[in-house]
Amino acid sequence: MNVAVSTVPAQALKIERVKEHIGAIVTGIDLAQPIDGATRKRLYDAAVDNVVLVIRGQEHLSPGELQAAAEMFGELMEDQNRRYLVDGYPLISVLDNRHLDSKGQPAKVGANSTWHTDHTNQELPPKFTMLYAVAVPDKGGATSVCNARAAYESLPADLKRKIDGAKTENTLISSARMATANPDIVKAQRESTKPPTVHPLVRTHPETGTRAVWFHKAKTETVTGMSPEETQDFLQELTEKITQPQFCYAHEYQKGDLLIIDDRASLHKAGFDYDHSQHRRLYRMLVRGDRPY
């Protein structure tokens, strides 16, 4: 007698949109079970279409099962911060409000609390950032995600013209931000001999062909024709224009949520509006992307 291959019953899986421009919540799936190709494609397409996908109810996953689930979305890449990793899983990094820096002080996490996309200092930044909730505060501590392609479309024509051909020079931390940054990152930047990585300020999504504003302010040394200080002010103004509420979704975690963010069409930030005596711990995985253009 043949043993049936376990697949996800199509009728159990639900993908519900959160807002017009952003977000979808997935229920009725267990990522520890084998997932068939059609279901994988539904999840992948939903992540791209909705910019951020939340898969609920995965608190039972082991790190190995979590990594295998993440690999459905592509090849994982190393987090460039090698200090906080899950033991035995070098492709799963840890974000934790109880981390200490190399001097034993509570680690500063300021760069994550402003709107950004990940690892822009690399030639091939991630296509997806995935966040898995291990410990969550009672309320607050959301990850907010902004649909930067819908926001780009909404910009006035003169501003679009100004940013369309602009380039960003990306480092680990902008010289204009060093005074308030995590000292380990400042030290790494001071010791780095790597020239800045140049990317477009508005990138084209390789799968949909849409355009999106795309930057990490704290890592941007300059935008074409601007000094480091002017760059920070300009990117702040641009951030305010594109992170209007209709384009954004703030996800307050339940334990076991897996968030999948399409980095090619979004900016995101971590929320610090929670009781810091409570534990907030997320695992992060990055899926390797293409060179932005």
Residues numbered 30 to 59 that lie near Fe ion (CB under 5 A) are none
User: Interface with Fe ion by CB under 5 A: which range of 3-11, 73-81, 110-118, 239-247?
Assistant: 110-118
What's the Cα-to-Cα distance from 104 to each of 98, 108, 145, 184, 281, rounded to whole Å? 11, 11, 31, 11, 18
In the complex with Fe ion, the residue whose CB is nearer, 79 or 118, is: 118
Cβ burial, residue 153 (10 Å; 0-12/13-18/19+) = middle
Helix then strand count (H, E) for the chain reads 6, 17
- Of 37-45, 91-99, 116-124, 155-163, the segment contacting Fe ion by CB under 5 A is 116-124
262 binds Fe ion (CB under 5 A): no
Stretch that binds Fe ion, among 62-70, 113-121, 159-167, 173-181 (CB under 5 A): 113-121
Q: Considering CB under 5 A, how many residues would be counted as binding Fe ion?
A: 1
Under rule CB under 5 A, residue 252 binds Fe ion? no
Q: Token pair for residue 158? A: 């003169």
What is the pattern of x (binds Fe ion, CB under 5 A) and - over residues 119-158?
----------------------------------------
Angle ∠(147,151,156) on CA atoms, nearest 5: 170
Q: CA–CA separation, 103 vs 40, rounded Å?
A: 43
**For residue 202, what are the β-bridge partners?**
213
Q: How far is the CB of 215 from Fe ion (least distance, A)?
A: 12
Task: Show Cβ contacts of residue 173 under 8 Å, excluding neighbours closer than 6 positions.
Answer: 111, 181, 185, 186, 189, 218, 219
Q: Which residue number has the CB closest to Fe ion?
A: 118
Using CB under 5 A as the binding rule, whether residue 118 contacts Fe ion is answered as yes
Please, what is the minimum distance in Å from the beta carbon of residue 144 to Fe ion? Answer: 11
Shortest Å, Cβ 95 to Fe ion = 9
Residues that bind Fe ion (CB under 5 A): 118
